[in-house]
Amino acid sequence: MNTATAAVDTLLYLNGVTVSFDGFKALNELSLIVEEGELRTIIGPNGAGKTTMMDVVTGKTRPDAGEVFFRGTADLSRLDEAAIANLGIGRKFQRPTVFENLTVLENLELSLDDSRGTLRTLFAQLSPDRRDRIDDTLARIGLTAQRAQSAGALSHGQKQWLEIGMLLIHDRSLLLLDEPVAGLTDRETEQTAELILDLAKDRTIVVVEHDMAFVRSLGAKVTVLHEGSVLAEGSIDHVQNDPHVIEVYLGR
Amino acid sequence: MSELPRGQRNSAWGPGFWAGFVACAVVLALAVPILNLWVPSNSAVALPDYLVPLLGKYLCYALLALSLDLVWGYAGILSLGHGAFFALGGYCMGMYLMRQIGTRGVYGNPLLPDFMVFLNWKELPWFWWGFDHFSWAAAMIVLVPGMLALVFGWLAFRSRVTGVYLSIITQAMTYALMLAFFRNDMGFGGNNGMTDYKDILGWDLHQPSTRLGLYLVSTTALGAGYLLCRFVTISKLGRVLLALRDAESRVRFLGYSVTNAKLFVFTLSAVLAGIAGALYVPQVGIINPSEFSPGNSIEIAIWVSVGGRGTLSGAIVGAVLVNLAKTWLTGAAPETWLFVLGALFVATTLVIPRGIVGLLHSARWVRPRATAPLPAGE
């Protein structure tokens, strides 16, 4: 296939990506395409390479081989984390990582899409429209009352939402969510699914998740990873009936 | 509607803050000259002349501690080599003071400082050029520590050296500099360093009035350094630093350059340390390679942790109190000082991990805004 044209048309393009750690291939010639505006869920057993795939896309890990392109032109395998973030790719980690010693509001302030330059941040002032944006986001993630609390004092679920809010406020075009409902109650999981579906209306989202009920509730295209490459792809019903998938993942 | 950052900024520079700052500045800048000059010398509260440079020295240490707190307390960079920046600033000042001696040295050589005559050198090394002029020396006091920090920091932070590894290489840096400065052929006076200064900008260093002047300059430098550090720490950059101290990779994924942010505070901090060293040298009258010794740099970290890391004011309090104790104890029972210092560090870590100022904050005697909460697990 003509890789160049495929790369240009898609938002996120991975071709033949291999990453090995001490001989163990975390990703084995992984090829994956995510279209603009898509909501994609990625599932797979532990060690299938889900988190490594996110590490490669966000610049935390350099691939040993293969191509990673964003919008066809930006070669993500050559950029560092900050540069990739500034292209409009946001990531939510498996364990919620908010800045525990800053307040909820300050967490959002740092996530605004203002200049990231060191000297600019030294003299930065929060303009009224930026403050309105923070207020809108606080309302959207339901943390208006906790704005002045330190983020470390939030519950687990609230931290997950704050982290989603931190991605949301920047208005990024691609969000990578690593297990957004891990450790959440059923009620919180439902609320998070609603939030993700709402966010997916105007951006591309890739969700890595274990919780099959949650994946089903998102109703999106599913990619199954296994041993570092794609095992199956399609609707949730399609992949759940795939004999290979049943064997390696769902059958257990 | 979101009142916090704006309101926080206002209270950080509000009347309450300025009242406290001005009160401290007045006590430091006025009490010493008044007690020294206008109180009769037989009075109990009179400040004898010999104590003025000693107090000035404490203020230089306080500025040095402040510079370490900026990087350690706020950005989590525990530099155990800050003594090197202090010493480099001190050497730049020492070189200027050596040139001011002129023909009044023991050998009376108009071209060379005494130690070069002693080593049979024929001409001034190129790196001594310009040190006849105070403006050149002043520029070097800022540039030499600043450039070293910039290059060292760039190499270290770009390679993502953090935590204890960074502490170790900063320690190695100051140790390497100490060995280099011990060598006679380096051209900085070797083992003996530089001393026997006569005057600074035309003022006789042995005159009490010059010493009082140096004390007041040190007070001003400390005050300005404090305001500068406060400005940095309560800015948005200050919040980026706190964020990267606690979750460095998360800051990267937000799109901030962790390397640049660290490099900025590290270089700023080194410059402040260099200025502290430059003010220290004329008040103590000597600079030698022992200022680079690793132990000195570790002691700075102890001052900061005793006073309260991540508070700025705590660094000043810690530096002054520990050095007061040192002055007293090394006179009263010199052999016990190192044990006391070690015990002080252990006790502070165990009993008051937030230091003296942190303790005052938690007792709500002082308003805790604009200080950095310590990360969990430290």
DSSP per residue over B85-97, as a string? HHHHHHHHHHHHH
Q: What gap in Å lies between CA A116 and CA A13, rounded to an integer?
A: 26
Residues facing B32 on adjacent strands: none
For residue B90, being part of any structural domain is answered with yes
pLDDT in tens, B10-46: 568 888 899 999 999 999 999 999 999 988 888 888 8
**H or E segment and range at residue B211:** helix B208-234
pLDDT at B376: 47
pLDDT at B11: 67
For residue B85, being part of any structural domain is answered with yes
List the Cα angle B235/B241/B247 in 5-degree steps: 140
**H or E segment and range at residue A118:** helix A118-122
pLDDT at A157: 87
| Probe site for chain B from A94, A111, A118 (most B CB atoms < 10 A) | A118
Structure pTM?
0.90
B329-349: average pLDDT: 92
- Residue B6 banded pLDDT, cuts 50, 70, 90: very low
Q: What gap in Å lies between CA B327 and CA B342, rounded to an integer?
A: 16
- Residue B371 banded pLDDT, cuts 50, 70, 90: low
Q: What gap in Å lies between CA A6 and CA A165, rounded to an integer?
A: 32
Residues facing A232 on adjacent strands: A224
* Number of folded domains that form chain B: 1
| B104: pLDDT strictly greater than 80 | yes
| Probe site for chain A from B230, B236, B249 (most A CB atoms < 10 A) | B236
- Check CB contact of A186 with chain B, cutoff 8 Å: no
| Probe site for chain A from B239, B244, B260 (most A CB atoms < 10 A) | B239
Number of H helices, E strands in chain A: 11, 10
pLDDT at B7: 41
Mean pLDDT over the full length of chain B: 91
CA distance B61 to chain A (A): 26
pLDDT in tens, B142-187: 999 999 999 999 999 999 999 999 999 999 999 999 999 999 999 9
Q: What gap in Å lies between CA B20 and CA A88, rounded to an integer?
A: 45
Q: What gap in Å lies between CA A248 and CA B106, rounded to an integer?
A: 88
Contact criterion met (CB < 8 Å) for A81 and B372: no
pLDDT at A250: 54
Residue B133 is which amino acid?
A: H
Q: What gap in Å lies between CA B48 and CA B208, rounded to an integer?
A: 10
CA A81 to chain CA mean position, Å:
14
Nearest CB among A91, A101, A134 relative to B253 is that of A91
Residues of chain B with pLDDT > 90, as a percent, come to 84
Nearest CB among B235, B243, B373 relative to A122 is that of B235
Contact criterion met (CB < 8 Å) for B240 and A131: no
By the 8 A CB rule, do B279 and B56 touch?
yes
pLDDT at A202: 86
For residue B2, being part of any structural domain is answered with no
User: What is the chain A residue with the closest CA to B2?
Assistant: A131
Number of other CB atoms surrounding residue A186 within 10 Å: 10
B44-65: average pLDDT: 94
For residue B285, being part of any structural domain is answered with yes
Residues facing A18 on adjacent strands: A65
DSSP B327: H
Please state the φ and ψ torsions of residue B93, each to the nearest 5 degrees: -65, -40
CA A140 to chain CA mean position, Å:
19
pLDDT in tens, B297-323: 999 999 999 999 999 999 999 999 999
Residue A220 is which amino acid?
A: A
A94 CB neighbours in chain B (<8 A) are: none
Residue B285 is which amino acid?
A: G
Number of other CB atoms surrounding residue B164 within 10 Å: 9
| B2: pLDDT strictly greater than 50 | no
| Residue listed under structure tokens 């740099």 | B297
Token pair recorded at residue A76: 């993500």
Compute CA distances B125 → B121, B128, B131, B136, B179, whole Å. Answer: 9, 6, 11, 16, 20
pLDDT at A6: 53
- Residue B367 banded pLDDT, cuts 50, 70, 90: very low
| B370: pLDDT strictly greater than 70 | no
**H or E segment and range at residue B242:** helix B236-246
- Residue B208 banded pLDDT, cuts 50, 70, 90: very high
| B378: pLDDT strictly greater than 50 | no
Contact criterion met (CB < 8 Å) for A135 and B252: no
Q: Does residue A65 sit in helix, strand or coil?
A: strand
CA distance A43 to chain B (A): 23
Q: What gap in Å lies between CA B87 and CA B322, rounded to an integer?
A: 20
| B141: pLDDT strictly greater than 50 | yes
A134 CB neighbours in chain B (<8 A) are: 2
Residues of chain B with pLDDT > 70, as a percent, come to 93
| Probe site for chain A from B154, B254, B264, B311 (most A CB atoms < 10 A) | B254
B242 CB neighbours in chain A (<8 A) are: 99, 101-102
For chain A, which ranges sit under pLDDT 70?
1-9, 249-252
| B84: pLDDT strictly greater than 90 | yes
For residue B4, being part of any structural domain is answered with no
Tell which A residues from 160 to 179 touch B, by Cβ distance under 8 Å: 166, 170
A123 CB neighbours in chain B (<8 A) are: 235
A135 CB neighbours in chain B (<8 A) are: 1-2
By the 8 A CB rule, do A101 and B375 touch?
yes
Rounded to two decimals, the ipTM of the complex is 0.86
* Stronger pLDDT, A245 or B126, i.e. the higher one: B126
| Residue listed under structure tokens 């004092």 | A153
- Residue B333 banded pLDDT, cuts 50, 70, 90: very high
By the 8 A CB rule, do A152 and B243 touch?
no
For residue B220, being part of any structural domain is answered with yes
B157 CB neighbours in chain A (<8 A) are: none
Residues facing A15 on adjacent strands: A67
Q: Going along B227-302, which residue ranges are E strands?
A: 286-287
B58-86: average pLDDT: 98
- Terminal Cα distance for chain A, rounded: 35
The residue range of the domain holding B79 is 9-362
- Check CB contact of A136 with chain B, cutoff 8 Å: no
Contact criterion met (CB < 8 Å) for A99 and B260: no
Compute CA distances A46 → A26, A49, A51, A210, A238, whole Å. Answer: 11, 8, 10, 9, 21
